[in-house]
Structure 1
C-alpha cells in the first residue's frame, strides 16, 4: 500500500497510486451504496423481473469517474473486455454485462431522486465528526462547463417601443410602479433580486434552481468576456480541509451571486462550530449576501466592487477614517460583543504639527452593522483581511482538480437533470476520496505514534 504523506488535496493522488481493488474499496466504502440501491431498485413485484445487478451498476458508475472512462459505451466495453475489472466493480461471474440502455435507465432513476445530495451531506458530516473538517474559513466560487449539445442559434429579441423621455406624471408613475411590483412578484425565484432569497427555506431554494443548458458569460483573467453554452457548478469549500461542504448545479446563465445564499444556508445547516469567515470574489459583492453571512454569525471577506460609486468624504478607499491631513487611520481590533471596529491614529501623527491641537480623534470606532458591505471584521485593507482573502484560492484549486481528474468537463448527457447527476457523482466521489485519504493518514499517524 502506498503511504499517504499528508492530509492535503494531493493526498488523493497518493490514494490513486494504490492497486485498483484497494483503491475502489477505500473510496466506495465511504458511500452508502445500499441506500442508493434501495432508491433505484424496483419497488413492485409486478412487471418484468429484474435481472441486472443494480448495486454493481452503481459501483461501476462511480468507478467510471475514478478511472476517467469518458463514456458509458467505453465503460460497457471495458466490462466486457476486462474480466478482473468487472469483478472489481462488484459483478458476479454469472452476471451479464448491463447495456448502455440499462445504465441510461439507472441515471433516469437517480435524476428523479435526491439520494446523491443526501449521501454528499452524510460524507461531509462524517468527516466533521471524525475531526477532518475544522475550518474557520469557507471559500465560495463558481466554475463553468459546456453542455454536450451544440448551442442553439440565438433568437432575435423583439424590438420594443422607444421609451418616452422626461419624467412621468405622478399618477402615471404610481401606476407604472404597481405594474413593475406585480411583474417582480410573479417572476421565478432566481429571476428576482437576490434579497428575495433571504427568507426562503433551503429546500425551496434548491428545488427552484434552473438547470437547463443556457448561454453564460464570464470575464477571464485577462479581463475579456468568455461565452459558453452549458452549466455552472457552484462550490463552498473548506479552505484548510478542502472538502466540498456544499455544491449547487445550475444553468450557465445564472448569476454567481444568486447561488451564494443557498450555499451559505447549506453550510449553516452543517453547524460547523469552528467557522468564522466566508470569503468570495467581487462577483458576490451584494448586500443580501453580507446580510446572510451576518445572520450566520460569521464575517464576510468579499472583494469590493465599486459599481460606479463615489468614495465617501473623510474615508479612504478601504472605508477607514482619515485625519485632517487625509492620512488613513490604522485598524486595531474588533470587539465582537459590540460588533465594533477600532481604528487608531495614523503613523504620520508622530511628526504631524497638528497632533496636539485636538483637531483629530485619537481613536475611531465604527459598528459594522452601520454598513455590512463596507465594514468587515477584520477591516478592509488590513493585513489580516488580505491574509484571509488569499485562502479563497482553495476553491479555485478544487474546481481545477474536478475538471482535470474527475471529468467535470466531460458532460455526456443532453438534459440538465442528467447533467446534474454527473455533477453530484463527481462531488460525492471527490469528498469520498478525501475522506478515504484522511482516514489512511490518521491510521498512519497512529502507527507512528505507537
Structure 2
C-alpha cells in the first residue's frame, strides 16, 4: 500500500491511520471478540533472561496461523516478517522484529504442556456455539454414537465372559442369561467350542 508523502519523504498519515481507512479484516473481527487475558494470565512468568515478546501477540499469531491456514511455524514467521499488515494485526509493531521459529515453537509447546491450548480451544468452541456461528448438536450426537460403539464389548469377549461365568452350565442356562440375538451368536460360538473339545 503506497502512502501519500510530502517532498521530504515524511508521510501525511501513519500506518495505523491508513489501516483504519481499510475495511476491517476477518482477523481483526475475530480478535476484537476474543478475550485472551484469562489465558495469558495462566501462563507461567519467567523472571530471568531478556523480556522477550509479548505472550498475547504470540498467541494471536498462532491463532491467526490456524485461521489463515498457515501450515508450518516457518511459514508463520515468514508471513510475520514479510506482511506488515498481518504483523500489525497480530500485535507486533509495523517495523518491529518478530519472534523466531524456535521462540514460537517453544511458546506453542508451553501452551500445549500446560493445557492452556486445549482450554482456549474449548472456550472458543463454546463462544462460537453461543454466538450461533456453529451448531455442535450433530457433532455431539455423532460423537456419542461413536463412544457407544467403542464401549460395546466384542462378541468374542462377551462369549469368553459368559463361558467363564457359566462353566459347566447347560445350553438352556446360557440362553436364559443373554439377550435373544446375542444368545444365538454366543450359542453358536459355544457349540463350536464344545465340538473342538
1:126-275 equivalences under 5 Å are 126-127=127-128, 129-130=130-131, 133=135, 135=137, 138-140=140-142, 236=143
User: What is the aligned counterpart of 2:41 among 38, 41, 46?
Assistant: 38
Structure with greater strand percent = 1
Aligned length: 141
* Larger-gyration structure (1/2): 2
TM-score (norm 1): 0.26
User: Once the 2 structures are TM-superposed, how far is the Cα of residue 68 of structure 1 from its aligned partner?
Assistant: 2.0
SS at 2:25 equivalent? helix
Give me the whole-angstrom Cα distance separating, in 2, the residues matched to 1:78 and 1:36: 24
Structure with greater helix percent = 2
User: Once the 2 structures are TM-superposed, how far is the Cα of residue 50 of structure 1 from its aligned partner?
Assistant: 1.1
Aligned 8 A contact 2:74 2:101 in 1: yes
Find the counterpart in structure 1 of residue 26 from structure 2.
23
Q: Deviations over 1:28-58 (max 9, x none)?
A: 4454322232233x625x4223131322211
Higher relative contact order (CA 8 A, sep 6+): 1
User: Once the 2 structures are TM-superposed, how far is the Cα of residue 133 of structure 1 from its aligned partner?
Assistant: 4.4
Give me the whole-angstrom Cα distance separating, in 1, the residues matched to 2:110 and 2:139: 36
1:391-410 equivalences under 5 Å are none
Find the counterpart in structure 1 of residue 73 from structure 2.
72
1:283-362 equivalences under 5 Å are 284=150, 286=152
RMSD in angstroms over aligned alpha carbons? 3.8
SS at 1:69 equivalent? coil
Give me the whole-angstrom Cα distance separating, in 2, the residues matched to 1:65 and 1:128: 19
Find the counterpart in structure 2 of residue 272 from structure 1.
none
Give me the whole-angstrom Cα distance separating, in 2, the residues matched to 1:24 and 1:136: 27
Aligned 8 A contact 1:52 1:96 in 2: no
Give me the whole-angstrom Cα distance separating, in 1, the residues matched to 2:45 and 2:117: 19
Give me the whole-angstrom Cα distance separating, in 2, the residues matched to 1:282 and 1:51: 48
Structure 2: segments with no counterpart, 5+ residues: 1-21, 160-177, 183-197
Aligned 8 A contact 1:37 1:55 in 2: yes
Structure 1: segments with no counterpart, 5+ residues: 1-18, 141-235, 237-277, 288-304, 311-369, 375-450
Aligned 8 A contact 2:57 2:92 in 1: yes
SS at 1:280 equivalent? helix
Aligned 8 A contact 2:112 2:118 in 1: no
Q: Deviations over 1:56-105 (max 9, x none)?
A: 21111111122222221122122212222211222123531111121122
Aligned 8 A contact 2:73 2:101 in 1: yes
Change in 2 beyond 3 A, CA 1:118/1:87: same
Aligned 8 A contact 1:76 1:98 in 2: yes
SS at 1:138 equivalent? helix
